[in-house]
Structure 1
Amino acid sequence: MGSSSYLVSRALWVYVMLVSVSAAESRILLDKEECHLDDLKGLKDFKASIKSDTSGRLETWTGERCCIWDGVSCDNKTGRVNKLYLPGFITSGDAPDQTYMEGWLSPSITLMVSLEVIDLSALSHLTGQIPPQIGFHLPKLRELTLFGNRLSGSLPESIGKLSNLEGLYLHENSFSRSLPSSLGSLKSLRRLYLHTNQFSGAIPESITNLTNMLSLDLHQNSLTGNIPADIGNLQFLEELDLSNNSLSGTIPSSICKLTFISTMYLNTNNLEGEIPFPTIAGQMSALKFLRLQNNRLSGRLPSAFGFLTSLQRVSLSNNQLEGPIPYSLGTLRSLSELYLDGNNFSGQIPSSLGHLSQLLALTISNNMLQEPLPHELSLLLNLQILDLSFNDINLSVIPEWLLGLPSLSQIYLAGCGIRGEIPDYLQKASSSLQVLDLSENHLTGEIPTWFGNLTQIWSLNLSRNSLTSTIPKTITNLGSLTVLDIHSNKLTGTINEVFHIQSRFEGSLTYIDLSDNRFTSGIEQIGRGSQTGIQYLNLSHNHFNGRIPTLIGKLKSVDSLDLSYNELSSQLPISLANAHSLERLKLQKNQITGNIPNQFLNLRRLKELDVSDNLLVGRIPLGKPLSDFPRSTYSGNKGLCGKPLDPCMS
């Protein structure tokens, strides 16, 4: 190696060492230096406002070297605090751990004027308000994350001064009042999550100025008025969720306004030269998720809706939309979920929906759609959920091609005019069927024994038909069954098999409605085996007689129990007082005798009680909740007395 090369290498080595030493000295100096007085006061005031910290992080906040405290970061050059990171979810070992801080948000955090990131999310017990002057004191703030707490008050107008803000996450709190128009000044904002609060009033028009926005989520508030007309200005928006509010008016045409995105040139044999040919797309062509359900939106769905070419999930459920479903929806080739239920759509289901090859869920129930059901839907080979319930499509029979869809696992055909017996070819869907709803049709005949082959089914609803058989014994094979609703038929015999499911599969059933039939036996099985998971049990309007089972108190999870309109003649079992989850108990129109047990005062959650028109006698136990029910709760029992009835004779 030449001397000149050696000298260059040596000089480079010395330079690197000096830089390393200088950086190390800077870090040591930063550790030794005291915190800026404003930062120190801001942090100490924050700690003082917290009564309890289950994470233990604030215990490290001692001395005056705040840059080494847990959750605090500082700028290496200025030494000022630039990050306050104390989220409730922390990693403990390999598993996430939920911690909380009980206290209030000190306004002194605005003393830390170099803050770029504030993350106090999911502390769950943190109360207080966003400091009103936050926008004037924290000009460098890029991210404000306060979701999952108990913060309240309004969103301050000064928030619009945070010109560098990119992410504002205030969801799952108790913020209220109207949204400030100054939000429209946050030109750097990319994600705005204000959902699950109590905001009211209109969405400010200024929000359409936020042209860099990627996600806008305002769902689950009390917002009113129209969707801003120029919402289409948010051309880069990928997610728009305004659901679960009280918004009215039409869906703005700007959402799917056509825009010329390029110009091609078309050369033809009939014309000399080339002519310009524009290509078009929806103005919000980046939009992937659109959720507007549970509002009061009206009018028609824009015919150009199909130009929103990136859409993957669309939910417009439970509004007042009308007119035909646009044929152009068939061009949304990326669409995986389409929810149009609960509107006033009319006309026919467009055959173009059969082109949505990626579609997993299609729900268009509770509209005014008419027959015929397009055979093109048989092309939806990936479809898992289909809900056509309560339309005017008058199927008469279940289309056999529908049951041949290889991925279909949830079928909802309630109120579709189906007649006759349950067809045997329904077994085609047996291997994957999880939900079957054929309620409110005109089905007759028996419940087929092959229903026992539907081993994956967890919800079966055959209610409001004219089925006349007994419950087949094979139903005990349905180990996944959680919901069984066969009320309002003409079924007879015993209900033993239903409770055998509970015994055999350790209590899978949680919802059982066998009411308004002609069952006569099996009620004695209540409480036997593993039935602790039952939450809803309705056996009313049948022909059960004899005793109310004493084991009924084993239904620890039941919150609604209805045995009314039967021929039960025993006394009220004291064990029923052990069903501490009971909120609704209906025993009227039986022949129940004896006293109301004093132990029923232990049913603290009881909100609805009806023991009228029985043969009960004696004094109604005095105290909550029994004394608070109206007279009608106890009427028709000539031997009963005491509040709320007439006083007992001494």
Structure 2
Amino acid sequence: MGSSCFSLSLLLVLVITVSELVINGDSKTHKGDIKVLKELKKGLDPSTVTPGSCVSSWDFSVDPCDHIFSEHFSCGFRCDVVVSKLSRVTEISLDRAGYTGSLSSTSWNLPYLQTLDLSENYFNGIIPNSLSKLKNLRRLALSRNSFYGEIPSSIGSLAKLEELYLDNNHLQGSIPSSFHGLVSLQRLELQENNLTGEYPNLGSLKNLIFLDTSDNAISGQFPSTLPASLIEISMRNNYLQGNLPDNFGNLGFLQVMDLSQNQLSGTVPWSLFNHPSLQQLTLSHNKLTFLQMPINMGIQSELIALDLSNNEFQGLLPGFIAMMPKLSALSVENNKFTGMIPSQYALKAVFPVMGTSPFARLLLGGNYFFGPIPEPLMGLKPGSANVSLVDNCLYRCPTSFFFCQGRVQKSVMACKRFGPVIP
């Protein structure tokens, strides 16, 4: 009897392992697994096998473990013992396993399931509402498949969910307003879909630390009701428009924000340059026109990398940016800055003040800077820093200097057309 119990325990382990082979009946049990099951049944004492049980039903004329997620999972016939055991499964991970098919017919009667990871497969169809039955789910990962249709609003009822990955699919429609119910959510990834509409109110997601909605078609203004817990925000390549809010100080833990490739306009608020934790800010490829100067001139900024390229900034390049002590990467390429390049930028690249970071990357090309090359840059050696002054109105920028290589300076006519003050 002990031998039989051991074998049946092994069988249950094998069956749960076989669950990796079937989602919707399209897949079949591996031949090697069938062989093991045959040997298992052959090795059992017939007196220990209950008549009508799962094991007794196996004649192997059909796949012994077909359709494992059905309400009527069978090993040839109905097998309530295995269903009972399977219902206690807490994790299903089939990532990068090469599976295909739809989840629409799956009932998901797995009350103890905490992790469902089907990432990087070939699943398609709509995401079923039945996933809302998984009330104990903490991690749902459907990334890099071919799901389409709208995100089910029923997902918002998964109050214990901590991680939600729906990125890299073909999902449409707006982000459900029901997401305000995901009060335990820490990470939300919706990037690279076809989502539209405006952002819902996510202020109730008090534990959210990572939000990525990049590469969609989301419109409207930058959301004003984001949770203060956020550490990283990426909304790159959408259709956001209008002005940035001036209350970024409310996001007190924010470290990384990427709002590039949108249609944002107006002023960059001073709160981003005086933020207590913001280290990386990317605002490139927008329609921004003005930089608001922080009260402390940036000397308390935590910024390490700042990208303001491909906007519509005009006037003189503000000196306060060069006073940010930790800033080591700056791009203001392809704007309409003019005037002479402030000497503090050159000094920070070559002779930084003790306790501050030098410019490892200083990209000033594609503007209308005029006058001579700042003297400190003349002795800068190739490889010491990534500096570019190309496509400006500088008096003389020969290609013997590495920071003048790649594009020539603008023509005198183009510079005069932009502003008659340029000598």
Q: Aligning the two structures, in what range does the TM-score lie when normalised by the shorter sequence? A: 0.7 to 0.9
Answer yes or no: is 1:367 the counterpart of 2:343: no
TM-fit CA distance, 1:175: 1.2
Choose which of 379, 386, 395 in structure 1 pairs with 2:330.
386
CA contact (8 A) 1:330 1:355 kept: no
Choose which of 102, 106, 109 in structure 1 pairs with 2:69.
109
CA contact (8 A) 2:203 2:225 kept: yes
Choose which of 452, 461, 472 in structure 1 pairs with 2:406.
461
Q: What residue number does 2:112 align with? A: 140
TM-fit CA distance, 1:154: 1.1
Choose which of 215, 225, 237 in structure 2 pairs with 1:254.
225
- Give me the whole-angstrom Cα distance separating, in 2, the residues matched to 1:52 and 1:108: 10
Cα 1:377/1:238, change in 2 over 3 Å: same
CA contact (8 A) 1:32 1:65 kept: no
Q: What residue number does 1:235 align with? A: 206
AA partner of residue 437 (structure 1): S
Answer yes or no: is 1:436 the counterpart of 2:412: no
- Give me the whole-angstrom Cα distance separating, in 1, the residues matched to 2:362 and 2:28: 52
Choose which of 25, 46, 49 in structure 1 pairs with 2:22.
46
- Give me the whole-angstrom Cα distance separating, in 2, the residues matched to 1:174 and 1:460: 44
Range that drifts further, 346-355 or 324-333: 346-355
State percent identity of aligned pairs.
30
Choose which of 209, 215, 221 in structure 1 pairs with 2:187.
215
- Give me the whole-angstrom Cα distance separating, in 2, the residues matched to 1:413 and 1:192: 40
| TM alignment of 1:327-476, pairs within 5 A | 327-351=270-294, 354-355=298-299, 357-394=301-338, 396-405=339-348, 406-427=357-378, 429-430=380-381, 433-445=384-396, 447-451=398-402, 461-463=406-408, 465=410
TM-fit CA distance, 1:387: 1.1
Q: Deviations over 1:126-178 (max 9, x none)?
A: 2222253333x222211011111222111101111110100011111111111
**Aligned partner of residue 298 in structure 2, secondary structure:** helix
TM-fit CA distance, 1:450: 4.8
Q: Deviations over 1:208-245 (max 9, x none)?
A: 110110000101110000111x2111111000111110
Q: What residue number does 1:159 align with? A: 131
- Give me the whole-angstrom Cα distance separating, in 1, the residues matched to 2:160 and 2:3: 32
Cα 1:435/1:113, change in 2 over 3 Å: same
| TM alignment of 1:242-281, pairs within 5 A | 242-255=213-226
Q: What residue number does 1:317 align with? A: 260
CA contact (8 A) 1:31 1:65 kept: no
| TM alignment of 1:55-134, pairs within 5 A | 59=32, 62-64=35-37, 107-110=67-70, 111=73, 112-123=86-97, 125-134=98-107
AA partner of residue 68 (structure 2): S
For normalisation by structure 2, the TM-score amounts to 0.76
Q: Report how many residues are paired.
A: 364
AA partner of residue 303 (structure 1): D
Answer yes or no: is 1:287 the counterpart of 2:260: no
**Aligned partner of residue 265 in structure 2, secondary structure:** strand
For normalisation by structure 1, the TM-score amounts to 0.51
Relative contact order higher in (CA < 8 Å, ≥ 6 apart): 2
User: Mind listing any 5+ residue stretches in structure 1 that lack a counterpart?
Assistant: 1-24, 68-105, 256-283, 468-650
Cα 1:174/1:217, change in 2 over 3 Å: same
- Give me the whole-angstrom Cα distance separating, in 2, the residues matched to 1:309 and 1:363: 21
CA contact (8 A) 2:293 2:320 kept: no
AA partner of residue 360 (structure 2): S
- Give me the whole-angstrom Cα distance separating, in 1, the residues matched to 2:39 and 2:242: 58
Q: What residue number does 2:11 align with? A: 35
CA contact (8 A) 2:300 2:325 kept: no
**Aligned partner of residue 359 in structure 2, secondary structure:** coil
**Aligned partner of residue 281 in structure 2, secondary structure:** strand
- Give me the whole-angstrom Cα distance separating, in 1, the residues matched to 2:325 and 2:234: 25
Cα 1:429/1:290, change in 2 over 3 Å: farther
| TM alignment of 1:557-596, pairs within 5 A | none
TM-fit CA distance, 1:59: 4.1
User: Mind listing any 5+ residue stretches in structure 2 that lack a counterpart?
Assistant: 41-65, 74-85, 349-356, 413-423
Cα 1:443/1:141, change in 2 over 3 Å: same
CA contact (8 A) 1:178 1:201 kept: yes
AA partner of residue 126 (structure 1): Y
State the superposition RMSD in angstroms.
3.5
Cα 1:107/1:390, change in 2 over 3 Å: farther
TM-fit CA distance, 1:429: 4.8
CA contact (8 A) 2:337 2:369 kept: no
